[in-house]
Every structure is written in structure tokens, then in C-alpha cells.
Amino acid sequence: MPEVTVPTILHDGVGRTAEGRDWIARLPDLVGRAARRWDLRLGEPFADGSASWTAPAERRDGTAAVLKVSFPHDEARHEADALRAWHGHGVPLLLADDPDDWALLLERVTPGAPLSASTSPAQDRLLVGAHVLRDLLDAPGAALVAVPSMTDVCSRWATVLEERADRAGQRVGRLVDPGLVREAADLLVRLPGEVPGAVVHGDLNPGNVLHGSGERWVAIDPKPRRGDPAYDLWPLVEQVDDPFARPDPVATLRTRVPLVADAVGLDPQRVAGWGVARGVESALWWWSVSGDGAALRDGLARSASWARLLG
């Protein structure tokens, strides 16, 4: 078996669980099989990614590629299906895959700098991310691919959301606004079924948007599901030039949400609704994992700002 370097982020991510530690122990075998199967020469792994091992690779014919071996989990289960359907529209090309080993061989994107590292004006960065989403939605092969339903996923989230809010309310009391939680739960149930479904990326944050050659930008690490395209814009708006670090976050959101919505051809109200729904869900999920009351307070305050855009 080849010697495989395991980045610290993997130990700190999936390595926190027994299943993750077992998978990390099997990585040399998984990586070795992929290297033999696809005749790869591998470089040192990338240092990011808490649930997958990725490294630059070169095929026998000199083709530059990336090998990705994922820890088996539901969010990664349909990644190859979606990449195959998108076929290079807004994503790297899928060159090969092995579903049994959860291994993907991907086109290497160069220079590959993430949107999160860009120093361009915020408006330009937001439009880059929005145009990547537009590319995904325009991909002709995505219409028939089978991926999980956003309706089912969000319905489960809504149930768990209220359970977590009850527990958080008992622990941190007034930090949790029951009205905001009810609004988020209602949006999680209502929003997915109100528009025709498309295959969305699922985690379109600026760290997952890479610069390719020329004007090409692509999204990596999708967590695909079928549902409302407006779902995908929340992390982009929140994480590009943090609007909540501005003197008037709500005014900043009122400018930026229509900007990205119009670029994709979406209703800004739906983008704002997902900002509330996903923001509350994310804040309560992180509290359930970390017990961090300060982070919960910050996340819910952000969600309350999003809620002021509705109506």
C-alpha cells in the first residue's frame, strides 16, 4: 500500500467518530486501489476538506486530474450522479468514478483559486457565484438525474429544528426567539414545494467556487438535491464580504439579495426566505454539536436580519 498523508482537518472532521477513524485507517488501501485502477501518479493531498481525501494526480497520458475519496455519508452519495449530469457546466468534468470505494477522478481546475480568496469588489464576487449557479441550472443533462428531494430533506430538518430549539430554550433561554424558529420551520416545509424543482449544488459557498482558465469558474463538492434553486444563494450572500460586518446589515442584504437573484432569474423573496430557514437551521445545528451559546446568538441574529427582508 502507498504511504498516504492524512491532513489534520480529516482527523478533526470525520476522525472524531469511530466510523471516521476506521475509514481513515483504510485510506491507504482505498487510495492505492484508485491509483492502480486509473494509473495515477499522485501528489501531496490538499489540506482542506473534513470529509474527503483529495490530491492532485496525473494520468499516464499526462492529463492533470484530482483524485477524491470520500468518507461514506448521505450528502456525498449522489455527487458522481450530479457531476455526470452537469457534464462540465459549472463544475469540473467527472473523468471516472468507483461507487464502491466512493472515489472520483475529476478534471483538475487551474489555477484553482477559490472565490473566497478573491479581492475583487463584493458585487463582482457575488455575480461570479450567481453565474455558476446559472450554469448548473442550464445544464441540459440535469433534468432527469435522480438525487434526493429537497422537500423530504427540509421536512426532516423542520422537525429536528423545533426539537433542537426546545432543548436550546431550556439551556440558553431568551437567546432563542420561538417566533423566529416557527417561521424558519414553516419556510423549510413550504418553500421546497412551491416551485418546479431543479438540481441544486447544496453548498455553494465561496470556498467551493474555483477559478478555472480565462473567465471560467466552477463549483466543487456538491451536496446535490432536487428543489428550489433559490436555496443555493444563502451561503454565497452571507460569506462574500460579510454583510453582517457592515454598519447596516439589513440595508446591505436589501442590495445584494436582488443582485444575485436577478442574475439567476429568481425571486428575491425566496432567496430571503431561504436565508431565514437555512440560517436558523444552521445556527441550531451548530449549537447542538458545540453547545456554543455565543455562536447561536450570532446565527439567530443574522437570521432575524434576513427575516426583515420578507413581506
Q: Which residues are the active-site residues?
A: 203
Give the separation between CA 209 and CA 112, rounded to whole angstroms. Answer: 9
For every residue of 40-108, DSSP letters joined together read EEE-PPPS--SSEEEEEEEETT--EEEEEEEPP-GGGTTHHHHHHHHTTSSSPPEEEEETTTTEEEEEP
The H-or-E segment that residue 210 falls in is strand 209-211
Give the separation between CA 301 and CA 42, rounded to whole angstroms. Answer: 45
Cell numbers given for 254: 436589501
For every residue of 256-286, DSSP letters joined together read HHHHHHHHHT--HHHHHHHHHHHHHHHHHHH
Q: How far is CA 3 from CA 26, 32, 66, 86, 153, in A?
A: 12, 9, 18, 34, 38
Peptide bond into 196 cis (omega under 30): no
Cα–Cα nearest to 160, from 249, 282, 273, 39: 282
Query: Is-contact 128 217, C-beta < 8 A?
Result: yes
Query: Is-contact 67 103, C-beta < 8 A?
Result: yes
Strand partners, 99: none
